Structure 1
Amino acid sequence: MTDTAAAAPPHTAPGTTAPVIETRGLTKRFRGGRLAVDGLDLTVPGGSVFGFLGPNGSGKTTTIRMLMGLIDPTSGTASVLGRPMPRAARTVLPEVGALIEGPALYGYLSGRDNLLRYDSADPTADPRTRRARVAHALDRVGLAAASARKAKVYSLGMKQRLGLAAALLRPRRLLVLDEPTNGLDPQGMREIRSLIRELAAEGTTVFLSSHLLDEIEQVCTHAAVMARGRLLVQGPVAELAASARGRLAVTTPDPSEAVRILKEHGLGGVSVDGDRLTADAPPATVDLADLNAALVGGGVRVRSFGIEGGSLEDAFVALTGEGFDVAG
């Protein structure tokens, strides 16, 4: 597999169609009264690569488990591929590939034999083409050379690849991935991102939960942000990033003096990395030209000065009031 990130921007999804996932008022309350998901209204367009984001305890995994029929909601509705879940699970799930909370593997079997076992459990799978399907799935995730090794000696990244291969044994209309690059090295992460793009180009909708904001920005066309069980925002990734306030960026060989002057002018969130510093964007009442003049007048040699555009991380922090955590 090769990384095709530079081939086309990921934030255009001209092939998106009617929703493949839709929830209305979806709620899950566990015993003891803990509210894990609170009135979720989520819409995942067909043909999109949809990033599902949220800090620790936000309800992401609980939501995914309800969508896949693994647990029942307390109230509200969920539909997948236009059919109600969990009531239509038997007809929906054969069209869905899923990798949730890590793959469940038979350690004493080889990677190939694990996939043969998974495929044989599918009553709709043609046994005459089983080995060809398994070989193709192993090749797609880069495990063909290691397919004869027992799964118990696989690294975490290899196990993730094998779980993804299991989800790809058959053509799927929807692929649900929970932390798909967990345990992978940078090259493996690039390969999985490339594979996700390929699948989307072939018409598969990908629903991706990840703690890597950079990953979401690189591969996802749409995203949703959850916190404390509630949906905060959803929409195209480019629009979410653009909605975030930018940061003031200054390059100077005099960073300590620049920090002092910016703080005197009421700017917060100042951070320094070598000769580059950033700060919260000033309010609209502050003229950037005056701020630059104040730096120069204070003896700061300014090499560059300006407002950088917001990022998905900026939007996430602004929405949740906290940094990003792995669990969800």
Structure 2
Amino acid sequence: MGEPSTTSVTDATSALDATSATDATSATDATSALEDGAVIHTRALTKRYRGGQLAVDGLDLTVPAGSVFGFLGPNGSGKTTTIRMLMGLIAPTSGAARVLGQPMPRASRTVLPHVGALIEGPALYGFLSGRENLTRYDAADPTADPRTRRSRVEAALERVGLAAAAGKKAKAYSLGMKQRLGLAAALLQPRRLLVLDEPTNGLDPQGMREIRALIRELAAEGTTVFLSSHLLDEIEQVCTHAAVMAQGRLITQGTVSDLAAGTRGRLVVTTPDAAEAARVLKERGVGDVVVTDDGRVTGEAPDGELADLTAALVEMGVRVRGFGVERASLEDAFVALTGEGFDVAG
């Protein structure tokens, strides 16, 4: 029988069976981390691969307890490498990472039973049904009571909308169904922390809405959710906090509202005289002036008095039907911080 090829957190736990979880300073450090309210905390976390490739460079990351934390970055920014270090799948070159107040990867056997994870796609046995896959996952958990295994499996399937397809072989599942099954595996036990790498990958719009609702529900129940996604709109809808990575380094972190608020919004003018309005705005020093397909004129929000711009437009005979500044989105903030668009392959 073939084994699933995708790396899983269970694999990491088994590989670290011989590793001691003893650390002379762990109790003090754990207390300090929990007092700070951090479920994940890294200090100067660095990963350099053979050949000199620097994937993560001096990362200082703090994930508050109870947050839904979005982890953003373009392709190659170091997001997945960071997640793999946090889950003990790979060791850092230098620096330190603590999850639930414990050092990783040293304390993997202590920490991972409290963590649900879906990283780089679910590791599934294609010849087994969805239900059988979850049963095997649950059986591999030394903390799981076998007497209540069936009820846990059925509850997890129901929660991700796979109850009707539970008897179907996993190899016949669509990509979206496999994502759901991987999420169900992460939810077999109550978790203090849920780590999700692109959880809505392959889902249709309805499925994406259901997963977002589930994430909000889990957060309301007290689970901290660490979410990596290339969908900025998704992050903005569901996350309370976010961090932005670029070229292996942390650019910024904070609440989603603060990240967007720190970026200048867009001036928007609605007028039938778009060409003339664009000319006047440029003459008045407004940058990045664009006439949109719907006839609106947009530009960088100016530092000066907006009323002066309105007066200038009217003075030049521009018929102004709407004038204002739209709040910056998380995408605007991302582009401003990284100097590039978001790579969907990230």
Report the TM-score when normalising by structure 1: 0.92
CA distances 1:244-278 after superposition (whole Å, capped 9, x unpaired)? 11110111122222222222333232331313232
Q: Which moved more, 1:175-184 or 1:248-257?
A: 248-257
Give yes or no for contact 1:267–1:280 (8 Å, CA) kept in 2: yes
* Larger RCO (CA under 8 A, 6+ residues apart): 1
Q: Is structure 2 residue 310 aligned with structure 1 residue 289?
A: no
Q: Distance in 1 between matches of 2:277 and 2:173?
A: 51
- 1:305 partner letter: F
Q: Distance in 1 between matches of 2:297 and 2:123?
A: 46
- 2:299 partner letter: A
Partner of 1:312: 330
Partner of 1:240: 259
Q: Aligned-pair distance for 1:123?
A: 1.5
Partner of 1:27: 46
Q: Distance in 2 between matches of 1:194 and 1:246?
A: 29
- 2:129 partner letter: S
Q: Distance in 2 between matches of 1:224 and 1:19?
A: 14
Q: Distance in 1 between matches of 2:161 and 2:203?
A: 12
- 2:330 partner letter: L
Q: Distance in 1 between matches of 2:285 and 2:197?
A: 41
CA distances 1:178-199 after superposition (whole Å, capped 9, x unpaired)? 0001111111111000000110
Q: Distance in 1 between matches of 2:273 and 2:168?
A: 57
Q: Distance in 2 between matches of 1:111 and 1:278?
A: 50
Give yes or no for contact 1:17–1:46 (8 Å, CA) kept in 2: no
- 2:140 partner letter: A
Report the TM-score when normalising by structure 2: 0.87
CA distances 1:60-105 after superposition (whole Å, capped 9, x unpaired)? 1100000001111000000000000000001101110000011111
- 1:203 partner letter: G
Q: Distance in 2 between matches of 1:30 and 1:298?
A: 61
Out of 280, 297, 302, which is 1:277 matched to?
297
Q: Which runs of 5+ in 2 are unaligned?
A: 1-34
Partner of 2:248: 229
Give the 5 Å matches for 1:172-183.
172-183=191-202
CA distances 1:272-307 after superposition (whole Å, capped 9, x unpaired)? 13132321112x2x4322222222233321111111
Partner of 1:5: none
Partner of 1:107: 126
Partner of 1:119: 138
Aligned length: 311
- 1:315 partner letter: A
- 1:35 partner letter: L
- 2:54 partner letter: L
Q: Is structure 2 residue 215 aligned with structure 1 residue 196?
A: yes
Q: Distance in 2 between matches of 1:266 and 1:153?
A: 58
SS across alignment from 1:108: coil
SS across alignment from 2:37: strand
Give yes or no for contact 1:58–1:229 (8 Å, CA) kept in 2: yes
- 1:313 partner letter: E
SS across alignment from 1:273: coil
Q: Distance in 2 between matches of 1:183 and 1:254?
A: 43
Give yes or no for contact 1:112–1:134 (8 Å, CA) kept in 2: yes
Q: Distance in 1 between matches of 2:344 and 2:139?
A: 34
Partner of 1:155: 174
Q: Which runs of 5+ in 1 are unaligned?
A: 1-15
SS across alignment from 1:47: coil
SS across alignment from 2:117: strand
Q: Distance in 2 between matches of 1:139 and 1:269?
A: 49
Q: Distance in 1 between matches of 2:149 and 2:248?
A: 41
Partner of 2:286: 267
- 2:253 partner letter: Q
Q: Aligned-pair distance for 1:120?
A: 1.0
- 2:37 partner letter: A
Q: Distance in 1 between matches of 2:273 and 2:125?
A: 59
Q: Aligned-pair distance for 1:17?
A: 7.2
Q: Is structure 2 residue 184 aligned with structure 1 residue 165?
A: yes
Give the 5 Å matches for 1:54-69.
54-69=73-88
Out of 295, 313, 318, which is 1:300 matched to?
318
